[in-house]
Amino acid sequence: MIKVFLKRKIAPRIANGHPWVYGNEIEKIVGEDGNALATPVAPGTIVDVHFFDNKYAGRGYINQQSQIAVRILSRKRDREEIDAPFFYNRILKAWQYRQKIGYTDNCRLVFGEADYLPALIIDKFNDYFVIQTLSYGIEQWKPAIVSALQSIFNPKGIYERNDVPVRELEGLQQQKGFLSAPFDTNIIINENGLQFHVDIENGQKTGYFLDQQDNRRAIKNIVKGADVLGAFTYTGTFEIHAAHYGAKSVLGIDISEQAVEQANRNATLNGLDKICKFEAMNAFDALKQWDKEEKLYDVVMLDPPAFTKSRESIDKAVIGYKEINLRGMKLIKDGGFLVTSSCTNLVNPDLFLHTIESAAKDAKKRIRQVTFKAQASDHPIIWGMENTNYLKFLIVEVTNR
C-alpha cells in the first residue's frame, strides 16, 4: 500500500475528521518499499494517509492532478478494504439512515462527505436514481456503485448527470447518460401532497432541488389569502406550494423560458393554474421596475442560484444577495413576509443573516425572524465540514419603520 505522509504543521482539520487532504499538506509519498516516489501516483489509487509521526490517519483515493490530492474514505484502525462490498455497505447504511428519519420516496440518498463517500451524489426519485461522481477516485468505482443500487433497490432506471465543470478539475470529461437500460427521463414525483415534473436528463443539477422539500412546507401559514410573488422560481415548487396552501394569487418569475414552461406545466398538473402564473423575466430588472411602480405583495419569495462558486468572488455575491433582498423587501406590504434563501456554502449563515439585516436597514424596513433553517435532513450536516452546511432558508416579517 502506498503511504502519504502529512506535514507536521497542518490545520487540525484532518485529525478532526475532515476527509480532504490538499496537495500542499503532503510532506512525502512513499511506495511499498518505503522509498519516496519520484513520479506521481496513478489517479484513483487507494493510499494510506499518515500524520508526520507515522500515526494512521485513514485510507482513501489519491489524485495529484487535483487541488484535493486525497479524499479519505475510511479511518478504521484495521485498515478497512476499499472494494465493491465497501461501497455496497456505505450506500446501504445511507439508505437505512434516510428510512429512520422519514425520507423514502424522494431523497438525497448519498450526500458526499456527509455520508462518508466524498464526491459522490445520489438522488432517489421514486424508483429512479441519478448519480454524480465528481472526482477521479470515485469515478473509478462507478460500476460498483451502480451494482450496489441495483442490488439494494432493483430500480427502474439509473442515470448519470456528470455534466458538471468540477469534473474537469479532476481530469475527467463532462458526460451524462444511462447507467441502466434506457427509460423515459421525464418523470413525475410527489412532494407534500403535490406533483411535480422532473426532467432527469436536462433539469438543473440532478433534475430537481430536493434540499428545499422541508422548507417548502414552512410557508404554509404565511401565504393563506396572500398575494405572493416568487423570484428565481425555476420550476415553480415554492409558488405552487403557496397556491396549494391557500394563496389568493401567485406570480413566479425566472429568466429561463424553459423553466417557466415547466413551472406552468406543474401548476396545471396540480389544478392550480388559475391561481399560479409564471413569466420569463430577469428578476433583478423586474423587482427594480416594480418598486418604481409601487407594486406591493403580502409575501415575496426569493430562491436565487449560487452567486459565487469561488472564495475570490464572495464579496460580489454578497452584493448580489443584498440587492435582491433589498428589492424584495421594498415590494412587501407592511406586516408581510420575506422568504429568502442562499445555496452556497461560501456564504456562511452569519454572513447571510448580516446581509439580510443590512438590506433591511437600507430598505428602511424592520424585520423579525420567523424561522431560520438549513437544507432538508436527507442532506445531513457534519460539523466542521463547511460544504455539508450550505443552504440558508429564512422567513422574516417585514414592517415599515
pLDDT in tens, 128-155: 999 999 999 999 999 999 999 999 999 9
Fold of 2-74: 2.30.130
Residue ranges, comma separated, of all CATH 2.30.130.10 domains in the chain are 2-74
Q: Is 167 helix (H, G, I), strand (E, B) or coil?
A: helix
Asked if the model's pLDDT at residue 311 lies above 80, the reply is: no
The side-by-side arrangement of strands in the sheet containing 365-373 is: 276-280, 249-254, 227-231, 297-302, 332-342, 392-400, 365-373
Using one digit for the tens of pLDDT, what is the confidence trace for 193-212? 999 999 999 999 999 999 99
Residue ranges, comma separated, of all CATH 3.30.750.80 domains in the chain are 84-184
What is the CATH number that goes with domain 84-184? 3.30.750.80
Phi/psi for 139 (5° steps) reads -60, -35
Q: How far apart are CA 166 and CA 306, in angstroms?
A: 15
| Residue 24 DSSP code | G
pLDDT band at residue 344 using 50, 70 and 90 as cut-offs: confident
The rounded mean pLDDT for the chain is: 95
Asked if the model's pLDDT at residue 308 lies above 70, the reply is: no
Class of domain 209-400: alpha beta
Q: Is 316 helix (H, G, I), strand (E, B) or coil?
A: helix
Those residues with Cβ within 8 angstroms of residue 106's Cβ, 6 or more apart along the chain or in another chain: 123, 124, 125, 126, 189, 190, 191, 208, 210, 213
Predicted TM-score (pTM) of this structure: 0.95
Phi/psi for 187 (5° steps) reads -120, 170
What pLDDT does residue 307 have? Answer: 75
Residues 65-79: what's their mean pLDDT? 93
Pick from 257, 255, 249, 252: which is nearest to 230 by CA? 252
